[in-house]
Amino acid sequence: MGFPVVEVSSDGSFLLSKPPLTGGLVSFGSVAEQLVYEISDPKRYLLPDVSCDFSQVIIQEVPGVDGGAVKVTGAKGSAPSQEYKVCATYLDGFRATAVCPVGGPRAAEKARRTAESIIKRTRGMLQQLKMEDFSSVNVQILGAEDTYGPHAQSKGCREAVIWMAVHHTQKKALEVFAREVAPAGTGMAPGLTGIVGGRPRVSPVLKPFFFMHPKSELKVEVHVDGQEAESVQEAEPHTSEQEVPPPSAQEEPDAELPSGPHSFRLEELAFTRSGDKGDSANIGVIARHPLFFPYLKKHLTSSVVADYFSHLITPGTKDAVTRYTLPGINGLNFVLQSSLGGGGVASLRSDPQGKAYGQMLLDLKLRNLPDLKSLVD
């Protein structure tokens, strides 16, 4: 797929296209998906040199261009934040993951029983070695829709994959676990075909930690040949509260919309894109037609999304899901806090970055709607 070309005008608008005959497509959909990728509040996107508001960005397709092109307008900038965004990491024990395909009748049941037996056997060995239990264990049976939790629709499968990940404070404990996976191929349920990648490797867990830090509390020093050449320190902030862009306010309730007897899967009305920031995920939802947008705002609320993903959000998380709007592209953005099991390498899940969350949400059914398809016919 060809890399895009951006032609920026002095007013901040730009034309986004791509070299001809390089594959891929530049369209409203592909660019809108990228706009909502891994963001939180679209009115307060903090960058080193600007605070950006792209909630009102408009994307218009330009006809007649090979590979497609769009005109993008409506972004606004204000003064940068008085704080640095800081990403830190710290060592948090060790992890190991085993991935094992299983085939045959009742593959999911055999896979689950095999994984449970390996964990039970290893725990017994850790007790004999007078070592503490695993800090956490995650077993998923891929093919049985375990990631969907209560929304799973699988009714049995003849192929499944064990995803079995464990965390421990000591490397030695995970080396015991790694050795005990291979015997399952000959001593447990039939149909286990192998271990993907061989014996599980033990790796350190570098857990991310994000925070904001005042610029005025940091001093930057430049040294040349052992001598200080320059020193810079931000002044104390003097920007008034009125000049700082406010966060997105609570939305006014939508005007009364007609209801009806129809139900639609979200995929029929919108498309999605999702990604991660640490232990939080975001899901951007873009209406397939502007007339669908008011109904999405009314029916696809933060509480609906929180309920749909409740099995993946850490219990007790306050304000687990926040919804933001991007009226310029008829879009919604949902931020799911504490929803990735630690996120990145700290997570034991098969989707530690929430890449499939948007696709999972497409199966959500919105009910009591009028015949929306007739609105665009």
- Does residue 253 fall inside a structural domain? no
Which of 211, 129, 119 minimizes the C-alpha distance to 165? 119
Percent of the chain with pLDDT over 90: 77
pLDDT tens for each residue of 46-55 = 988 899 999 9
Q: How far, in Å, CA of 228 to CA of 144, rounded?
A: 61
Domain count, the chain: 3
Q: How far, in Å, CA of 254 to CA of 375, rounded?
A: 19
Range of the domain at 302: 262-376
Compute the chain's Rg from CA coordinates.
Answer: 25
Q: How far, in Å, CA of 164 to CA of 161, rounded?
A: 10
- 69 and 101 fall within a common domain: no
- 331 and 368 fall within a common domain: yes
pLDDT tens for each residue of 12-38 = 999 999 998 888 899 999 999 999 999
- 93 and 201 fall within a common domain: yes
In terms of C-beta density within 10 A (0-12 exposed, 13-18 middle, 19 or more buried), how is residue 350 classed? middle
- Does residue 278 fall inside a structural domain? yes
Query: Is the pLDDT confidence value at 252 over 80?
Result: no
Q: Which helix (H) or strand (E) holds 138?
A: strand 136-142
Percent of the chain with pLDDT over 70: 95
For residue 249, what pLDDT is reported?
55
Average pLDDT over residues 111-115: 96
Least confidently predicted of 121-130, 133-142, 253-262 = 253-262
Confidence band, pLDDT 50/70/90 cuts, at residue 121: very high
pLDDT tens for each residue of 156-176 = 889 999 999 999 999 999 999
- Does residue 289 fall inside a structural domain? yes
Average pLDDT over residues 313-319: 95
Answer with the one of 48, 81, 114 that is the final residue of a domain: 81
Report the first-to-last Cα separation within the chain, whole angstroms. Answer: 33
Q: How far, in Å, CA of 293 to CA of 343, rounded?
A: 31
Answer with the one of 48, 64, 81 that is the final residue of a domain: 81
Q: How far, in Å, CA of 372 to CA of 262, rounded?
A: 9
C-alpha distances out from residue 291 to 129, 266, 371, Å: 64, 14, 12
Answer with the one of 182, 207, 232 that is the final residue of a domain: 207
- Does residue 251 fall inside a structural domain? no
pLDDT tens for each residue of 275-305 = 998 899 999 999 999 999 999 999 999 999 9
For residue 1, what pLDDT is reported?
60
- 360 and 269 fall within a common domain: yes
The residue whose two tokens read 């497409």 is 362
- 193 and 293 fall within a common domain: no
Contact of 372 with 291, CB cutoff 8 Å: yes
- 157 and 139 fall within a common domain: yes
Query: Is the pLDDT confidence value at 63 over 90?
Result: yes
- Does residue 257 fall inside a structural domain? no
Helix (H, G, I), strand (E, B) or coil at 295: helix
Q: Which helix (H) or strand (E) holds 173?
A: helix 171-179
The residue whose two tokens read 């375990």 is 146
**Residue, of 274 and 21, whose pLDDT is higher:** 274
Q: How far is CA 225 from the centre of its chain?
A: 44
Structure tokens, 78: 């204000």
pTM score above 0.85: yes
pLDDT tens for each residue of 177-216 = 999 998 988 888 899 998 998 899 999 999 888 899 999 9
* Residue 278, phi then psi, degrees to nearest 5: 65, -125
For residue 242, what pLDDT is reported?
42
